[in-house]
Amino acid sequence: MKEKIYTIPVSDAFAEDCECPLCVLEKKLEDECIEYALGPSLMEPDMRQETNEKGFCKDHFEAMFNSQANRLGLALMIDTFMQEKNKKLQKIFETRAGSLEKDAKAGLMKNISNKISSKQTETDKLLQELVGELDKIEHSCTICSKLEHTMGRYIDVIFYLYFREPDFREIFDSKKGFCLKHLKQLLVSTKKYLNTSETAIFTKKLMDMQITNLERVEKEVDWFTKKFDYRYNDAPWGNSKDAVSRSIQKIRGNCNLK
């Protein structure tokens, strides 16, 4: 298979003996994104604008904090992110704050007169705007956005290689399947990248591989549980000693298991 710069990360991941090559790709990319966020991006205005807007999710805040790589850099990003979001929440609140007392009095009068209006109040509108902004904060992450975009490009490369490079197709078909998250991503992406014939061929091969390996992992977990029964004390562990961690990865993808 002829290597090109955009195929090298995919080829390297599929060369590893693992439960999910896409998890290998994603973990390497995630580590690079965390390193970049705590390093060069701090000096790039475009990236600082993005981190101020999107911030980071819980998992990536934890990863950056726990890396101990650049506490000052992390603090600077948190500082400017909080400045921007605090101002935004304050602006939303102050725009309608004057109507809260009015709605409070109106609500009291309605309770006294037993009349309830279905009309949206200024308080309702304020709550809707505040919750909408908080939803944006909760579900946005600079690193997650980068991962989603780049993993989509890797999926593109995988489909390209699968139908144009027999060597890669042979390697792909010999793997141990994928975690369920990346299995779904591959299946969903067939509609974007493949025609009907290619989709049928790819889905058949992928699901045959996946079902075989899901059954393999389940049997290894089952054997792990049996090894705690005295009747199996002298039986060999086989591949089951790390079956719990591998099964969790198979179900959920990359996990920071201790």
Domain C-terminal end among 117, 134, 165: 165
- Domain-embedded: residue 5: no
Tokens for 204, please give them.
């058949």
CB neighbourhood size of 93 (10 A) = 13
For residues 70 and 41, the answer to whether their CB atoms sit within 8 Å is: no
| Whether 131 and 30 share a structural domain | yes
| Whether 133 and 32 share a structural domain | yes
Q: What pLDDT shows up at residue 113?
A: 47
- Domain-embedded: residue 152: yes
- Domain-embedded: residue 56: yes
| Whether 210 and 238 share a structural domain | yes
- Domain-embedded: residue 170: no
For residues 69 and 35, the answer to whether their CB atoms sit within 8 Å is: yes
- Domain-embedded: residue 1: no
| Whether 69 and 150 share a structural domain | yes
| Whether 159 and 76 share a structural domain | yes
- Domain-embedded: residue 15: no
Domain C-terminal end among 130, 165, 200: 165
| Whether 43 and 160 share a structural domain | yes
Structural domains of the chain, count: 2
Quickly state the pLDDT bin for 107 (edges 50, 70, 90): low
- Domain-embedded: residue 10: no
Q: What pLDDT shows up at residue 118?
A: 56
Whether the model clears a pTM of 0.85, i.e. scores above it, the answer is no
| Whether 123 and 188 share a structural domain | no
- Residue-wise pLDDT for 23-76, tens only, equals 999 999 999 999 999 998 888 999 999 999 999 999 999 999 999 889 999 999
| Whether 156 and 47 share a structural domain | yes
Domain C-terminal end among 165, 192, 217: 165
| Whether 185 and 147 share a structural domain | no
Query: Does the pLDDT of residue 204 top 70, yes or no?
Result: yes
What residues contact residue 256 under an 8 Å CB cut-off, 6+ apart? 63
| Whether 97 and 208 share a structural domain | no
What residues contact residue 39 under an 8 Å CB cut-off, 6+ apart? 69, 70, 73
For residues 91 and 53, the answer to whether their CB atoms sit within 8 Å is: no
- Residue-wise pLDDT for 148-162, tens only, equals 999 999 999 999 999
- Domain-embedded: residue 84: yes
| Whether 84 and 109 share a structural domain | yes
Query: Does the pLDDT of residue 241 top 70, yes or no?
Result: yes
| Whether 34 and 54 share a structural domain | yes
Residue range(s) defining the domain that contains residue 224: 176-258
Burial, 50: exposed, middle or buried (Cβ in 10 Å; 0-12, 13-18, 19+)? middle
